[in-house]
């Protein structure tokens, strides 16, 4: 078994540890956020962490009614023209805490007097030292190049912060069910084998919307870096504004559906693509329909849509692992990649 697969399997235990052990850090962050009453959040990240930032855009927007923007780090580095950040809460997300451009955003935010927070797996990293507040992910060493457990740890950390800032008993109860839900996702590993033939390349499209637009982006990255399948993610809404022109018979399309108000639109585009001869397959979290086709792998975690990016990310990781093995590729060591990428 690969390190990537081993680390995928660690996620339920990691989630349980975070729920049990992160109260003090989360409470400190929430207290400072409430005291600062920021006008909005600016999040700096790269790679998988950027997809966690996209999740936060929907999560903080819906649960906390906050305006969230994703930083353009080159404004802080290459162009030396950072925007004014007074009154913002600036969050840097980096599993290593060593990405220079993410650090540059947080350092500039601190210089301007903005509240700064680091989400990182290394509490002694440059990013952690640059921020006023740190949420350690506590995932332990992640030796495989593709991120798995640090990605879902970032999602869970953001969900815990959102809950602590604006508490809700139902969401609190749902968070407590996350470890068991991730276990159920792992149990679907063998079922995912039936989706693999549709995704053997050389290209694929991954579609999501709402909270799981971030999941679609993350799964597309995983397919690309572990299997060398040129996968591109779109929001369904954006896909229909032009990119749908690439559709042709045999085109592989993976739909990621966590239920909620966007589910009907995902089902409609799936039917439309199947009617045009695409190889449409689905990852879903929610109650099953009678007579569901074999092109669907589903769990029913019982989680609200806001938390299904956790379970669906695990399904996507397992699927990417299976695609890599089917293509004869070692997912632990993608060519031309290293665990820490330093961009400026």
Share of the chain above pLDDT 70, in %: 95
pLDDT for the residue 332:
81
Task: Look up the pTM and report it.
Answer: 0.95
- Domain coordinates in residue numbering, the chain: 3-176, 182-326
Q: Which residue has the tokens 């961009």?
A: 343
pLDDT for the residue 200:
95
- pLDDT over 90 (residue 339): no
Average per-residue pLDDT for the chain: 94
HEC profile for 117-184?
EEEECCCCCHHHHHCCEEEECCCCCCCCCCCCHHHHHHHHHHHHHHHHHCCCHHHHHHHHCHHHHHHH
Q: What angle do CA 318, 324, 55 make, to 5 degrees?
A: 45
Q: What angle do CA 318, 255, 153 make, to 5 degrees?
A: 45
Q: Which residues in the chain belong to E strands, given as ranges?
A: 40-45, 67-70, 88-94, 115-120, 133-136, 203-208, 230-235, 252-257, 279-285, 296-299
- pLDDT over 90 (residue 201): no
Answer yes or no: same fold for 3-176 and 182-326. yes
Higher pLDDT, 288 or 216: 216
Q: What's the pLDDT band for 209 if we cut at 50, 70, 90?
A: very high
- pLDDT over 60 (residue 291): no
Q: What distance lies between CA 68 and its chain's CA centroid?
A: 16
pLDDT in tens, 253-266: 999 999 999 999 99
| Strand partners for 89 | 41, 115
pLDDT for the residue 245:
86
Question: Under CATH, domain 182-326 is a member of which superfamily?
Answer: Glucose-6-phosphate isomerase like protein; domain 1 (3.40.50.10490)
Q: Which residues in 209-342 belong to E strands, given as ranges?
A: 230-235, 252-257, 279-285, 296-299
pLDDT in tens, 108-153: 999 999 999 999 999 999 999 999 999 999 999 888 888 999 999 9
User: How many residues are listed for the chain in this entry?
Assistant: 344
Q: Is 293 exposed, middle or buried (0-12, 13-18, 19+ CB in 10 A)?
A: exposed
Can you tell me whether residue 270 is helix, strand or coil? helix
CATH number of 3-176: 3.40.50.10490
Higher pLDDT, 294 or 112: 112
Q: How far is CA 164 from CA 32, 40, 159, in A?
A: 11, 16, 9
* Nearest to 73, CA basis, from 96, 94, 95: 94
- pLDDT over 60 (residue 290): no
Taking each helix axis as running N to C, give the angle between helix 213-227 and helix 48-63, from 0 to 180 degrees, rounded to the nearest 10: 170
């Amino acid at each position: 078994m690969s390190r990537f697969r081993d680390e995928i399997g660690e996620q339920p235990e990691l989630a349980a540890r975070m729920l049990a052990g992160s109260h003090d850090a989360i409470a400190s962050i929430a207290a400072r956020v409430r005291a600062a009453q920021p006008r909005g959040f600016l999040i700096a990240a790269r790679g998988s962490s950027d997809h966690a930032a996209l999740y936060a855009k929907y999560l903080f927007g819906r649960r906390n009614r906050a305006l969230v923007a994703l930083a353009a780090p080159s404004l802080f580095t290459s162009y030396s023209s950072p925007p004014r950040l007074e009154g913002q809460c600036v969050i840097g997300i980096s599993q290593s805490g060593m990405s220079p451009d993410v650090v540059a955003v947080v350092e500039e935010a601190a210089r301007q007097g903005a509240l700064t927070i680091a989400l990182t797996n290394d509490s002694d990293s440059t990013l952690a030292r640059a921020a006023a507040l740190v949420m350690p992910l506590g995932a332990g060493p992640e030796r495989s190049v593709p991120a798995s457990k640090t990605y879902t740890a970032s999602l869970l950390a953001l969900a815990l912060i959102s809950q602590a800032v604006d508490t809700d008993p139902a969401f609190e109860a749902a968070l407590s069910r996350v470890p068991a839900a991730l276990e159920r996702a792992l149990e679907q590993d063998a079922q995912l084998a039936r989706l693999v033939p549709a995704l053997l390349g050389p290209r694929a499209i991954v579609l999501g919307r709402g909270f799981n637009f971030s999941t679609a982006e993350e799964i597309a990255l995983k397919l690309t870096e572990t299997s060398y399948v040129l996968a591109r993610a779109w929001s369904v809404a954006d896909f229909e504004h032009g990119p749908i022109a690439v559709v042709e018979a045999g085109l592989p399309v993976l739909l990621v559906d966590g239920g909620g108000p966007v589910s009907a639109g995902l089902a409609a585009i799936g039917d439309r693509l199947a009617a045009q001869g695409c190889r449409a397959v689905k990852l879903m979290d929610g109650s099953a329909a009678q007579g569901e086709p074999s092109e669907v792998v589903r769990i029913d975690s019982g989680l609200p849509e806001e938390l299904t990016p956790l379970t669906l990310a695990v399904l996507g990781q397992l699927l990417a692992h299976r695609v890599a093995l089917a293509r004869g590729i070692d997912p632990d060591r993608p060519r031309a990649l290293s665990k820490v990428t330093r961009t400026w």
